[in-house]
Structure 1
């Protein structure tokens, strides 16, 4: 770069300005004297750029004066930086370079050159806006919202803001029934209404298909966020007009407060999404709670380890006897899944079965349990030289009933181990039947064709729809332990048990009472007409070998 001193030395002070005209970019020689800044030379490009011809009117001096003065006071020979001036509409962008040949704190003269990047910068800003904006609603998209949230985190106290995650209910149904264009129209209308319900300064973004996220300032913690959530809900009360239909839209809202955690922007959004997931279950606006999130993380840990346990065959079955109340003879064993983790912790089925159902692992877990139970019965038959005299009961999850080809799976397992279908009792819950009645009815009939016995587990705790008992070939009603335990001291429980037994008798079904722990309770149930009993009075769930020894002792 030709410095001011070099141009003056080569051409003289009068000729340096003519030399500058040879440069295709705006350039000027700036000097600092005791009276202020001045120009020693300015080229035509500088004048055409509208950067002024007098030090008093030039933006270079007026807006960059401090930078130039700072440069003269430093030991730098050159500096380079971006500079913008003008209002928002007509803002211009330059790359500025200030240089000198030698550091001279007495004769302060420098060459200032500017490269006009206005066109490129405007194009870049335009593309950036498009990348940060949802094309359908015109709201910020996920990237744009995250950027604004990160700015809020950097500039404000965490206690000063909250994030609301909003999911529309039934939106997928609108899309499926009325088409994508109607769905888009609904989203635009919803976005307009919700934006109108916000306060000045609140930011709303569309961060997913039917998901909106709000960044809002808070002064009174959760109360401010809950107030805005109510305004959002109120804004959606009036139906939306789509074609010839009036569509009512509700939403689920989750709130995460900035003061509740120290993570980054993505973590705060994730917490709000976790809260909205709980909102879908509870039907009310939910504020993120650390304990609930920790529990969810623990469940993910259980899921990961359970998957390995299923793959590695680390689970086992325990067998609890089911006895004929009239004779005391063992007629069946219920197979129950048991799991000791890699850390040696014995997890209750109530801890890992719900995780298996939510994650879909219940299907391979259920297949394993069914195969293991039938294999155990086949092994007992071999050890006794024939039919060992008992059947095995296996629980079938509602999730597996919906997702798996249950009848085919059961038939293949029975055939592979040479066990007759009558030796297997499949226990279903009422919820499994209600979830998909038509599919369930087809599956149940296919299982009956295999000769299996069907039992309705936990009867009385769910829907207790008598229509299903009439239509489906249920053989056994299992009375839940919540009715049996403490029955002798509670007349209401006695009345419920008596009603279930009468119903089963009228429908030609047998009954099994769970949770029997005393002889007195067993005798009372026998007197009331209950067929079978199960509980700690007879035995706790036992490993297969111990269960077989108990069976052998009961026959002697």
Structure 2
């Protein structure tokens, strides 16, 4: 016998109860042979008078749907899982196989008994009455789907703390962003645990893991209802917070985090205070989760610098992107030798002649135009390009002075000063760089003056001492630049083999209107004289300043009053113009 159901029968689905209108299910010999040969649950279905007909089912189909091969049991199963939509799916295929879907995934049941099935359809020859038929095969994907669900849950969770990981956090942020009806409805806080690597190295990884777990628990105590906490990195955590009052709520959340972290952590027998840097990014309409998270991470970097939570500012990010762009372009410019050195005259304040020049790097970009050293030098220091830039400047300056000697046909009584950064002092072999420049140019060591800022010397006085001694062995002159701004110890000043103190222009420019500045300059000059050092004043812009400094006993000076930085040929011409017969 055959069983027919209305079009909405299940497991071939409907929104109304299924009805079995025949007395039973009876398969033809051909259908039975075909179906029983298949290793999966299958049946032959047809369409008759607009109704879905069951022509034949194999034993595996009955087993899968737990129904006996009789009409009553089969009808009960159809009614139990009606409403899944699978009936419409089969009917549509039978009506038009060419343009209808031939696969359907559906779920059967609820809770632990829930199963995941995949229906696949293939057309068969019509029956003797010309009515369309198809083969329905059913794959039970329950084990596969549950394994995928378990695996995905593991992939979305941090194994140490049990918190959601970064991938899960990003998905949650994405979902909240799509559901938001207004901008700034949510914010992301990124919390970076400071000094974690030091704690981990000194106390071991087990203590580090214990600290991370305790840190996570404290963060949880700072959450409000609806907030989401995740571990997004080694010692980095993210919090998604809802906002009612905009940035005020976000900063309040940051304050709660800082409060719960104020109590020291107990590790073994030690009590350790752990500080954290917090960056905040407000969610904007249409913003991707990764972009929002990166914004918060950028704010963390700024929070580390200022020591308090920071809210992401697009202008700061634009400046950061420009720095990265400058870094890329600077690297190319150095490789292509597109930078130049300009030379600012150093004037002997007594004679008025040019005693030497300070070499200053200049960069004119093809598209951006002239880029200030105040912009590209910090980028070079941050990226490490300062080593390549410093070596280039040293060699270029030495070659320029050697070229002046050649042009004049004699060794000229002038020297060139080259600036060194703290990064060069810490990472490069300065003495080798200077020796290489002297050897390639043929200059004597006294033709080069190496200028280091006071702050760079103070950072590592012991290394500065070794570098200075190596430079003195080459007969090079050593100058302390920007003196008075780096809080150096007089003991270091006395011990280091420094030849020249350069008085910072912040003191020089204020001399004519500030008695304190005059007193500071006078004190520096007296100190240098007592230590047997020469002096150079920076930032001389008026004749009054030049005259006053000369009267106070300053040896030399530089500034726009005398000349701006000049091209190499113009610098040599300037030296000749001030030379006295």
- Same structural fold, with TM-score higher than 0.5 when normalized by the shorter chain: yes
Q: CA deviation at 1:527?
A: 1.9
Q: CA deviation at 1:540?
A: 0.8
Query: Which shows bigger deviation, 175-184 or 84-93?
Result: 84-93
d(CA) in 2 for partners of 1:89, 1:253: 42
The equivalent residue for 2:81 is 61
d(CA) in 1 for partners of 2:283, 2:428: 43
Q: Identify the match of residue 205 of structure 1 among 206, 226, 230.
A: 230
d(CA) in 2 for partners of 1:59, 1:450: 99
Q: Rate the CA distance shift 1:76–1:227 in 2: closer, same or farther, 3 A.
A: farther
Verify the 8 A CA contact 1:479 1:511 in the aligned structure 2: yes
Verify the 8 A CA contact 1:94 1:118 in the aligned structure 2: yes
Verify the 8 A CA contact 1:4 1:110 in the aligned structure 2: no
The equivalent residue for 1:491 is 515
Q: Rate the CA distance shift 1:86–1:199 in 2: closer, same or farther, 3 A.
A: farther
Q: Rate the CA distance shift 1:328–1:245 in 2: closer, same or farther, 3 A.
A: same
Matched, 1:218 2:243: yes
Residue aligned with 1:15, SS:
coil
Residue aligned with 1:252, SS:
strand
Verify the 8 A CA contact 2:26 2:55 in the aligned structure 1: no
The equivalent residue for 1:93 is 116
Q: CA deviation at 1:424?
A: 1.2
Matched, 1:176 2:201: yes
Residue aligned with 2:512, SS:
helix
Q: CA deviation at 1:477?
A: 1.3
Verify the 8 A CA contact 1:17 1:42 in the aligned structure 2: no
Q: Rate the CA distance shift 1:100–1:12 in 2: closer, same or farther, 3 A.
A: farther
Q: Identify the match of residue 120 of structure 1 among 141, 144, 154.
A: 144
Matched, 1:467 2:491: yes
Query: Which shows bigger deviation, 227-236 or 285-294?
Result: 227-236
Query: Which shows bigger deviation, 130-139 or 55-64?
Result: 55-64
d(CA) in 1 for partners of 2:88, 2:215: 54
Q: Identify the match of residue 15 of structure 1 among 26, 29, 39.
A: 26
Q: CA deviation at 1:187?
A: 1.5
Q: Identify the match of residue 400 of structure 1 among 424, 427, 448.
A: 424
Q: Rate the CA distance shift 1:136–1:383 in 2: closer, same or farther, 3 A.
A: same
Residue aligned with 1:136, SS:
coil
d(CA) in 2 for partners of 1:43, 1:325: 109
The equivalent residue for 2:455 is 431
Query: Which shows bigger deviation, 445-454 or 353-362?
Result: 445-454
d(CA) in 2 for partners of 1:63, 1:543: 86
Q: CA deviation at 1:468?
A: 2.1
Residue aligned with 1:204, SS:
strand
Query: Which shows bigger deviation, 406-415 or 239-248?
Result: 239-248
Matched, 1:228 2:253: yes
Q: CA deviation at 1:37?
A: 9.7
Q: CA deviation at 1:466?
A: 2.3
Q: Rate the CA distance shift 1:354–1:360 in 2: closer, same or farther, 3 A.
A: same
Residue aligned with 1:487, SS:
coil
Q: Rate the CA distance shift 1:292–1:210 in 2: closer, same or farther, 3 A.
A: same
Verify the 8 A CA contact 1:206 1:213 in the aligned structure 2: yes
d(CA) in 2 for partners of 1:159, 1:174: 37
Residue aligned with 1:486, SS:
coil
d(CA) in 1 for partners of 2:381, 2:150: 48
Matched, 1:194 2:205: no
d(CA) in 2 for partners of 1:448, 1:88: 83
Verify the 8 A CA contact 2:4 2:54 in the aligned structure 1: no
Q: Identify the match of residue 276 of structure 2 among 236, 248, 251.
A: 251
Return the TM-score normalized by structure 1. 0.89
d(CA) in 1 for partners of 2:316, 2:569: 40
Q: Rate the CA distance shift 1:473–1:72 in 2: closer, same or farther, 3 A.
A: same
The equivalent residue for 1:161 is 186
Q: CA deviation at 1:170?
A: 0.6
Residue aligned with 1:198, SS:
coil
Q: Rate the CA distance shift 1:221–1:349 in 2: closer, same or farther, 3 A.
A: same
Verify the 8 A CA contact 1:133 1:144 in the aligned structure 2: yes
Matched, 1:541 2:565: yes
Superposed, 1:72-91 pairs within 5 Å as 72=91, 75-77=95-97, 79-91=102-114
Q: Rate the CA distance shift 1:242–1:109 in 2: closer, same or farther, 3 A.
A: same
The equivalent residue for 2:528 is 504
Verify the 8 A CA contact 2:348 2:354 in the aligned structure 1: yes
d(CA) in 1 for partners of 2:265, 2:57: 64
Q: CA deviation at 1:401?
A: 1.1
Matched, 1:143 2:167: yes
Query: Which shows bigger deviation, 519-528 or 500-509?
Result: 500-509
Cα deviation digits, residues 77-97 of structure 1 (max 9, x gap): 464221224445443211134
Cα deviation digits, residues 421-440 of structure 1 (max 9, x gap): 11111111122112223222
Residue aligned with 1:62, SS:
coil
Return the TM-score normalized by structure 2. 0.85
Q: Rate the CA distance shift 1:59–1:433 in 2: closer, same or farther, 3 A.
A: farther
Q: Rate the CA distance shift 1:514–1:258 in 2: closer, same or farther, 3 A.
A: same
d(CA) in 2 for partners of 1:26, 1:226: 59
Query: Which shows bigger deviation, 410-419 or 360-369?
Result: 410-419
What RMSD, in angstroms, separates the aligned Cα atoms of the two structures? Answer: 3.2
Cα deviation digits, residues 329-356 of structure 1 (max 9, x gap): 2111100001100226111111111111
d(CA) in 2 for partners of 1:89, 1:166: 38
Gaps of 5+ in 1: 6-10
The equivalent residue for 1:386 is 410
Q: CA deviation at 1:375?
A: 0.9
Residue aligned with 2:274, SS:
coil
